[in-house]
Amino acid sequence: MSETKSKFTVREMVLIALMAVLIAVCSWISIPAAVPFTLQTFAVFCALSLLGGKNGMFSVIVYILLGAIGIPVFSGFKGGLGVLLGSTGGYIIGFVILAAVYWAAEKIPVSSAKVRLVLDISALVLGTALCYAFGTLWFVHVYSSKNGAIEMYDALKWCVLPFIPFDVIKLVLAVIVSKTVKTYANK
């Protein structure tokens, strides 16, 4: 009988689950708006920075699957496929794109820790931009099918532009928190 190797260690599975819970808790912390201001992206940035691209991506996928089956992990204590298929669901699904970009960037060999940090931050910025793009296209499609045509500029004005400064702050804080946690974890 041959022995098969697990794709994840028990420690990795626990950390993936913990980060999925952190994303859920951070999504509940929100300021209501057309698209709520939440700490969800902060938690996604932390998951990727702390766990790496692969495990961070799986924490995002676990979070999305929990919401898809109806557990109220999304903003406003909502859950279900209706949220994912709704006008703002593309931004949630876009977190997988963000994670994929980060995971791909990790595979690029670098010469120093400083270069790695710049590459990681660049991957988070690019991934967030792609998340915005995917989410906005999704928003326009769903919103237009229910309410009539919407200009792309209006969708960006409602769903992206107000969030950029806050996401930049969340990204910086996540990188600082992650670097600090890694420093203390390695002692």
Question: Could you give the angle at the alpha carbon of 65 between the alpha carbons of 59 and 70, nearest 5°?
Answer: 135
Q: What is the pLDDT of residue 3?
A: 56
pTM for the predicted model, two decimal places: 0.93
- 156 falls within a domain: yes
Q: At what angle do helices 89-106 and 113-147 cross, to 10 degrees?
A: 160
Domain residues for 105?
Answer: 10-180
Number of domains in the chain: 1
- 60 falls within a domain: yes
- 131 falls within a domain: yes
- 87 falls within a domain: yes
Q: Which CATH number belongs to the domain containing residue 144 in this structure?
A: 1.10.1760.20
Q: What is the pLDDT of residue 18?
A: 98
Rounded CA separation 125/63 (Å): 21
Q: Helix, strand, coil proportions of the chain in percent (round to 5)?
A: 75, 5, 20
Which pLDDT band, with edges at 50, 70 and 90, does 31 fall under? confident
- 185 falls within a domain: no
- 119 falls within a domain: yes
